[in-house]
A and B are shown apart, each in its own frame.
Chain A
Amino acid sequence: MTTRSQTEPGSVVATSAGANGAFNNPGRAENKSEQKRDGQYGAIASLQSSAEPLLDIRNLSVDYVTPNGFARAVNNVSLSIRPGETLGLAGESGCGKSTLAFAVARLHKPPALISEGQILYQNRDVLTMKPRELRRFRWNEVSLVFQSAMNSLNPVITIGEQIIDVLLAHQKIRYDDAWSRGESLLKTVGIHPSRMSSFAHQLSGGMRQRVVIAIALALQPKLIIMDEPTTALDVVVEREIMDELYQLKDRFGFSILFISHDLSLMGEIADRIGIMYGGKLVELGPAREVFYHPSHPYTQGLINSFPTIHGPKDRLHGIAGNPINLLETPTGCYFQERCPRAFPLCHQREPELIQVKPLHQAACHELTEESSS
């Protein structure tokens, strides 16, 4: 794909419907209703972009205590998610993206501990919540969907029991009412209500993941954290689930923290993308900006690691070397060893996130050098 459209920062979603045509492939029929939906959704998102953030993560650090010392899996990360927004977090395994997701719901267990920072959910600090408060917060406000649906579902009880378990635990509701509510939830995610009495092993992988999404939606939370929700699925099933998810999002208006290593999928579905490396946030910006004008060499390498289905068929080079060992972190930039353009300053001082464009930040010395020279 060679066409690149420069979208105005801040109105990324709103302009998406217009830009849609430019990116359409020849031979693929344009879908009118799809454009309309995009437009409607864009209007909502841009209205809400001025609103208070739903979730505000401030200078969060999470350490894993190991016999060989502390491994800082999340290192001084600040992020915010606005109502109705999809924030994508990408990076390779061990970059701290899942640890961050666990920390947001305060689900981390020793040896992980939060050493610094705040997680503000509608101005309440999740980290200082009392057990009762935390119980009300989890699933009512924030729910989670994990990668392996087989592991998140109990194999010995029916999926119906598992859906209504959430309702019975968090709401004053009669069993019969919960059951019929469970049936309608299944219908919402495109599964026949008769499947309530099925067991997890009787469903296909895609159906299992839909059940997990139904459970996540049960209490109509404002934020859903999805940790690699479609990684184990086939590409057609992945597409079906993402389509359904976005229809539900239009209906219920929740925010999504979407964690994945699949940058192509993320470039398609997220409003903003954050890139993590070695526990640090190295780049954050509007999805199109990050994808088409990546500022950090790691982001550039990551985007260059994915062969495309329609683009030019050149030899790609990706990123040399291996991911950083968090127990032996260097002084300076964590990416220095693998960076093709590292210079002396990179070995001395840690780069900070700086503004590249409005709403687009990256942490690389190259950017400060350019602006000062």
Chain B
Amino acid sequence: MTQSQEPIVSMRGVVKDFPVSQSFFKPTVMRALNDVSFDLYPGEALAIVGESGSGKSTSARILSQIYQHNEGEVLYKGTPIRDYMSEHGQRAYARKVQMIFQDPFGSLNPVHRIFYQIARPLQLHQGIKGRKALRARVLELLRTVGLNPAEDTALKFPHELSGGQRQRVAIARALAVEPDVILADEPISMLDVSIRLGILNLMLDLKEQHGIAFLYITHDIATARYFAERTAVMYVGHLVEWGDSDAVTQNPQHPYTQLLIAAVPEPGEQRNRDISQYQNKADIPMWQPESTGCPFAERCPKAMAVCRETLPPTRQLAEQHFVRCHLFTDD
């Protein structure tokens, strides 16, 4: 890994609130992200794993600036992105940080041919002019993502392609602008099982050959380990454990990560594998600005008094293994 390099994008103590009820007397706010910090280095993949509602997609959307964060800093090559955008414009940032969405059926415009979908970013961002140059580049991109024969695919409409092929088009479109970072928000969860691995392997190739950094958002911790060098586990808007993927999955330290790993189905293990020792029965809380303590405290079998009072600080366990849990706070 190239940790000595400058991170390409970083989050520093990012907070994101969403209004839940806008009642004048009692406005309610949900804190979707609380004090989230991570770095993404060139050419590496960082997976963010969590259950639905944990804030993993919100992180990707803040990095792509679909959402604006409330507090903290988001940095692009060390510059706060708000400064970067006011200096270079929003389009310049979009050109560096691209996004792939979960639903390949919704993310392509149904009335345009594939050629148009990929040519459009080339015209807008790369300034490629002339039908011939455009055509050559579109076909090259389609071949890169494995859509052969490219000439035929370029003339098709999205509805003529399967889910996996559509996701490949979405990847080609993201690649068109030669980005530094691709934010992949559950890119394989809507695809067929036999197709998923093809897309993951394609992203692995792009990472290795083009040096693109990936933020891989997923609920499937097994694919996170397969695809990403580093994995971060998120729970109710907080990063609870992160570091080297093998350290997090093979030697989980945070009680929530332990629960998550214990629940992953694994053949050979026999049925009725009881996970009740890993959690107490409690609802997943909604985090609010006034909430205190550790978000997992109510469900945590090892919870102490301090867990309901203060948010645990970050502790480093190994060179590439961090955890936010009071069990590891000294004193």
Taking Cβ atoms with an 8 Å cutoff, the residues of A that contact B are 1, 3, 16-17, 19-20, 23-25, 28-29, 31, 33-34, 37-38, 92-93, 204-205, 234-240, 242-243, 246-247, 261-269, 287-288, 291-292, 301-302, 304-310, 313, 315-320, 322-323
Contact assessment for B250 and A310 in the assembled complex, using a CB-CB cutoff below 8 Å: yes
With a cutoff of 8 Å between Cβ atoms, the chain B residues found around residue A304 in the complex are 197
With a cutoff of 8 Å between Cβ atoms, the chain B residues found around residue A288 in the complex are 268
B133-141, B172-180, B221-229: which lies at the interface: B221-229
Can you spell out 27 A-B residue pairs with CB atoms less than 8 angstroms apart? Answer: A28-B262, A34-B272, A37-B272, A234-B51, A235-B51, A235-B219, A235-B220, A235-B221, A236-B259, A240-B275, A243-B272, A261-B192, A264-B265, A264-B266, A265-B265, A268-B268, A291-B267, A304-B197, A305-B197, A306-B193, A307-B197, A309-B221, A310-B266, A317-B201, A318-B201, A320-B198, A323-B194
Q: Is B243's CB within 8 Å of the partner chain A?
A: no
With a cutoff of 8 Å between Cβ atoms, the chain B residues found around residue A239 in the complex are 262-263, 265, 273, 275
Q: Is B40's CB within 8 Å of the partner chain A?
A: no
With a cutoff of 8 Å between Cβ atoms, the chain B residues found around residue A268 in the complex are 265-271, 273
With a cutoff of 8 Å between Cβ atoms, the chain B residues found around residue A34 in the complex are 270, 272-274
Contact assessment for B197 and A236 in the assembled complex, using a CB-CB cutoff below 8 Å: no
A-B contacts besides A204-B283, A305-B197, 14 pairs, CB < 8 Å = A31-B273, A92-B193, A236-B263, A243-B273, A264-B267, A268-B266, A305-B194, A305-B196, A307-B226, A309-B222, A309-B266, A310-B266, A316-B201, A317-B201
Shortest distance between the CB of A210 and any CB in chain B (Å): 13
User: Could you give, for residues 228-268 of chain B, a 1 whenever the CB lies within 8 Å of some chain A CB and a 0 otherwise?
Assistant: 00000000000000000010011000000001111111111
Contact assessment for A236 and B275 in the assembled complex, using a CB-CB cutoff below 8 Å: yes
Contact assessment for A318 and B250 in the assembled complex, using a CB-CB cutoff below 8 Å: no
Query: Closest B-chain residue to A17, C-beta based?
Result: B270
Q: Is B55's CB within 8 Å of the partner chain A?
A: no
Query: Which listed residue (A1, A16, A261, A305) contacts B266, Cβ 8 A?
Result: A1
With a cutoff of 8 Å between Cβ atoms, the chain B residues found around residue A310 in the complex are 249-250, 266
Q: Is B86's CB within 8 Å of the partner chain A?
A: no
Q: Is B310's CB within 8 Å of the partner chain A?
A: no
Q: Is B277's CB within 8 Å of the partner chain A?
A: yes
Contact assessment for B267 and A246 in the assembled complex, using a CB-CB cutoff below 8 Å: no
Contact assessment for B264 and A235 in the assembled complex, using a CB-CB cutoff below 8 Å: yes
With a cutoff of 8 Å between Cβ atoms, the chain B residues found around residue A3 in the complex are 268
Query: Closest A-chain residue to B204, C-beta based?
Result: A315
Most buried by A among B193, B197, B263: B193
With a cutoff of 8 Å between Cβ atoms, the chain B residues found around residue A263 in the complex are 193, 267
Shortest distance between the CB of B2 and any CB in chain A (Å): 19
With a cutoff of 8 Å between Cβ atoms, the chain A residues found around residue B272 in the complex are 34, 37-38, 243, 246-247
Query: Closest B-chain residue to A29, C-beta based?
Result: B277
Interface size class, chain B: 35 or more
Known contacts being A234-B51, A234-B52, A243-B275, is A309 close to B268, with CB within 8 Å?
Answer: no
Contact assessment for A309 and B275 in the assembled complex, using a CB-CB cutoff below 8 Å: no
A-B contact count (CB 8 A): 153
3 pairs of A and B residues whose beta carbons are closest in the complex? A267-B267, A318-B197, A307-B226
Contact assessment for B270 and A16 in the assembled complex, using a CB-CB cutoff below 8 Å: yes
Contact assessment for B263 and A235 in the assembled complex, using a CB-CB cutoff below 8 Å: yes
Query: Which listed residue (B52, B200, B246) contacts A313, Cβ 8 A?
Result: B246
Contact assessment for A31 and B266 in the assembled complex, using a CB-CB cutoff below 8 Å: no
**Complex CA–CA separation, A242 to B271 (angstroms):** 9
Chain B interface main SS type: helix
Shortest distance between the CB of B230 and any CB in chain A (Å): 14
Q: Is B162's CB within 8 Å of the partner chain A?
A: yes
Contact assessment for B274 and A243 in the assembled complex, using a CB-CB cutoff below 8 Å: yes
**Complex CA–CA separation, A303 to B226 (angstroms):** 15
Contact assessment for A315 and B194 in the assembled complex, using a CB-CB cutoff below 8 Å: no
Q: Is B164's CB within 8 Å of the partner chain A?
A: yes
Query: Closest A-chain residue to B284, C-beta based?
Result: A204
Known contacts being A235-B263, A323-B194, is A23 close to B271, with CB within 8 Å?
Answer: no
Shortest distance between the CB of B118 and any CB in chain A (Å): 20
Contact assessment for A308 and B266 in the assembled complex, using a CB-CB cutoff below 8 Å: yes
Known contacts being A23-B270, A240-B275, A243-B275, is A313 close to B225, with CB within 8 Å?
Answer: yes
Query: Closest A-chain residue to B198, C-beta based?
Result: A318
User: Could you give, for residues 193-221 of chain B, a 1 whenever the CB lies within 8 Å of some chain A CB and a 0 otherwise?
Assistant: 11111101100100000000000000111
Shortest distance between the CB of A117 and any CB in chain B (Å): 27
Query: Which listed residue (A93, A246, A305) contacts B271, Cβ 8 A?
Result: A246
Query: Which listed residue (A1, A16, A262) contacts B265, Cβ 8 A?
Result: A262
With a cutoff of 8 Å between Cβ atoms, the chain B residues found around residue A24 in the complex are 269
**Complex CA–CA separation, A319 to B225 (angstroms):** 20
Shortest distance between the CB of B96 and any CB in chain A (Å): 29
**Complex CA–CA separation, A92 to B163 (angstroms):** 13
**Complex CA–CA separation, A291 to B192 (angstroms):** 19
Contact assessment for B271 and A269 in the assembled complex, using a CB-CB cutoff below 8 Å: yes
**Complex CA–CA separation, A309 to B196 (angstroms):** 16
Contact assessment for A236 and B260 in the assembled complex, using a CB-CB cutoff below 8 Å: yes
With a cutoff of 8 Å between Cβ atoms, the chain A residues found around residue B164 in the complex are 322
Contact assessment for A309 and B263 in the assembled complex, using a CB-CB cutoff below 8 Å: no
Query: Closest A-chain residue to B262, C-beta based?
Result: A28
Contact assessment for B52 and A306 in the assembled complex, using a CB-CB cutoff below 8 Å: no
